[in-house]
Structure 1
Amino acid sequence: MTKRALITGISGQDGAYLAKSLLAKGYEVHGTSRDRETTNFWRLERLGVRGNVTIHSMSITELHSVLHVLKLVQPDEVYNLAGQSSVSLSFEQPLETMTSNVIGTLNLLESMRFFGSRGRLYNAASSESFGDVGGVPAVIGTPFAPRSPYAVAKATAFWEVANYREAYGLHACSGVLFNHESPLRSPRFVTRKIVAAACRIAAGSGETLHLGNIDVQRDWGWAEEYVEAMWRMMQQPEPRDYVIATGVQSSLRDFVREAFACVGLDWQDHVHTDPALFRPSDIASSVGDPRVAHEELGWKATMFMPDVVREMVRHEQAMLAGEEGAPGMPES
């Protein structure tokens, strides 16, 4: 029988790639958005799958709305990718960040419990919850030490899932994903901001790129690979949480250097570090240990930071050149 999946946050980077992946696996795919009539689904369109996905209007922060959609769709698998996902924006909108991630996840869990659902739930957790790991790769069990409203929200949602799994027997798991990028990133994310600026400058824009702390270290992977890990988690007979990462960390300075090198420029001629862009609190070092995911899921990253940057630059240049199929970008 054809499996039916429901993806909350389907209009985002991960939601779009996951929809494409599940369709290729033969799933019937449904997605949610606050308002399906006004949301821009350009990512799904760029991946060529918008017409193959059924979209439902749903407010994840309203329990009756979640109950309605779950009763209507009756999914075998629910992938919770919704919620405010920008760390920097979370400092400006802490209440929205907390509500969408914490209450949203709780509404999904409670709805599944209410219906006595035999379906499975995947929750998008975040490496930000670990805080600064000091160069030691994080594993499930590494203590959480969140340093942003976003990280606090994601840590709370992680424990909600663990509690419902233990207390109510739900088949629910969290993927603690480290940074994962693609051409489908919003321009508000620093990785896309860097790549887009480097390509514009190479094309003659004459601008200067302003960045905050470029000495932070992150574990960067490729988004399209990470959604495969999500699916593999959901196929396990017993639910458990996994760290998904490359296991290699690089500085943002290295990311910038790689992006400008890809377009034949020296980054130091075009980048200005602006203390005004520093976050109120930040993580100096973030890296994950992917060994358990490799051993139990058979999943392993094949693209690392330099590969990610090169692929993002290639797509960005194609977009600037107006090539057909390039991932054009509304700013959302």
Structure 2
Amino acid sequence: MATVLLTGISGQDGSYLAEQLRAEGHRVVGLLRAGRTPRAARLPDIEYTEWDFAHVDALAQLLRSVRPTEFYNLAAFSTGAGMYDDPVAIGELNGIAVARMLQAIVDADASIRFCQASSSEMFGDPAAAPQDESTPFRPRSPYAAAKLFAHATVQAFRTRHDVFACSAILYNHESPRRGQAFVTRKIADAVARIRAGLDHELRLGNLDAQRDWGYAPDYVHALRLMLAHDHADDYVVATGQLHTVREFCDLAFSHVGLDYRDWVKGNTTDLREDRRGPVVGNAAKARRVLGWQPSTDFGAIVRLMVDASIASLASRDSMS
């Protein structure tokens, strides 16, 4: 049984990762920012500890106490509109805190294997499509710049200190646990409410915006494969397929027998200017080296999210 330290355990990815690890009998310790309380636990047998994300010595002492064999960093300010909010805090949490984590590993136990959740946002306006591990990074937001700092720091510690440190360049990945600020969750929840007669329209921005959408449990499985491999490296984790917000709406509404064109309206206040080239990943390296590939297709992801939103709404109604 391994001991695994995990930040971001309350989020979509962290909860799925903790679930997978506990199902195999591993000890999971959630690392929370000091003063934070965990959200309602999906798994009752998770341990929790705290760190202020600021002091290397305190984290090194915690590592000596917990003695993890693996350390996954999934904590970050989320994307979307939040990519530009509070750039100083974004730089601290998404960037500098990762350098502190890696330094604490060097100081406490250099055998700890570390995995950083990087982001396709680092490619910004990509120079080529699809993107792979050799595509130049061109960040366009404080979020992306901070993620790139962390990504480069992982590579530096791997080279300089021989730390087993990996970065997963994650493209968009969805699930019923996706946060409500994300467009996929907005659509799924709106379908549930419209189906129940509680809402009469859904206002969205650019329906032709394209994303490479995968399934969150598949993506956290890729992280685990990275730390289980013999050699530390960085990997793009993506489906290699682009879909539009319009396609997502079409599949989501048709799943309950509705035509999205009757319910989805334009909303200029939610319209984000996006003149980038196609942001779509080439995960050939992950398939070849790790044996990873996505197991859940786009249509299944949409249906899972809609069904979960319908069930959640029914559950709330039954308790009211």
| TM-score normalised per structure 1 | 0.90
AA partner of residue 153 (structure 2): E
**Inter-CA distance 177–311: structure 2 relative to 1 (3 Å threshold):** same
How far the C-alpha of 1:276 sits from its partner, in A, is 2.1
Whether 2:4 is the aligned partner of 1:5: answer yes
Identity %: 38
1:130-189, Cα deviation, whole Å (9 max, x unpaired): 123477211101111122221111111110101110111110000111111111111011
Q: Is the 8 A contact 2:116 2:166 kept in 1?
A: yes
For residues 179-220 of structure 1, the C-alpha deviation after alignment (integer angstroms, 9 at most, x for no partner) is 111111110111111110111111112342222222221111
TM superposition shift of 1:281: 5.3
- Which residue of the other structure, out of 95, 107, 123, is the alignment partner of 2:100? 107
**2:102, 2:157 within 8 Å by CA — same for their partners in 1?**
yes
Q: Size of the alignment, in residue pairs?
A: 319
Counterparts of 1:90 and 1:289, CA distance in 2: 24
Q: Distance in 2 between matches of 1:195 and 1:93?
A: 29
Contact 1:208–1:270, Cα closer than 8 Å, also in 2: yes
Mapped contact 1:176–1:241 kept (Cα < 8 A): yes
3-state DSSP class of the match of 2:165? strand
| The 10-residue stretch of structure 1 (124-133 or 156-165) with the greater mean CA deviation from structure 2 | 124-133
- SS of the residue corresponding to residue 117 of structure 2 reads strand
Amino acid aligned to 1:6:
L
Structure 1 residue 282: Cα displacement: 6.0
| SS of residue in 2 equivalent to 1:299 | coil
> CA shift at 1:77, angstroms?
0.4
Q: Distance in 2 between matches of 1:56 and 1:197?
A: 36
What is the TM-score with the length of structure 2 in the denominator? Answer: 0.93
Give the secondary-structure state (helix, strand or coil) at the position aligned to 1:248.
Answer: coil
Task: Please give the residue correspondences for 1:99-248 in structure 2 after superposition, counting only pairs within 5 Å.
Answer: 99-133=92-126, 136-248=129-241
Identify the residue that residue 66 of structure 2 maps to in structure 1: 73
Deviation sequence 1:16-51 (CA, Å, 0-9, x none): 100111112221111111247x52423x42xxx2x2
User: Does the CA contact (< 8 Å) of 1:242 and 1:293 recur in 2?
Assistant: yes
- Mapping for residues 274-313 of structure 1, pairs under 5 Å: 274-279=267-272, 283=276, 285-313=278-306
2:14 maps to amino acid:
G
Give the CA deviation at 1:284: 5.1
Bigger mean CA deviation after superposition, 248-257 or 91-100:
91-100
Q: Structure 1, residues 227-277: CA drift from partner, whole Å, max 9, x if none?
A: 111000001111001111111111111112211111222212222222222
Contact kept in structure 1, 2:61 and 2:108, CA below 8 Å: no
Q: Tell me if structure 1 keeps the 8 A contact 2:125–2:138.
A: yes
Q: Any residues of structure 2 matched to 1:39-58 within 5 Å, and which?
A: 39-42=37-40, 44-45=41-42, 49=43, 51-58=44-51
The 10-residue stretch of structure 1 (22-31 or 180-189) with the greater mean CA deviation from structure 2:
22-31
- What letter matches 1:110 in structure 2? Q
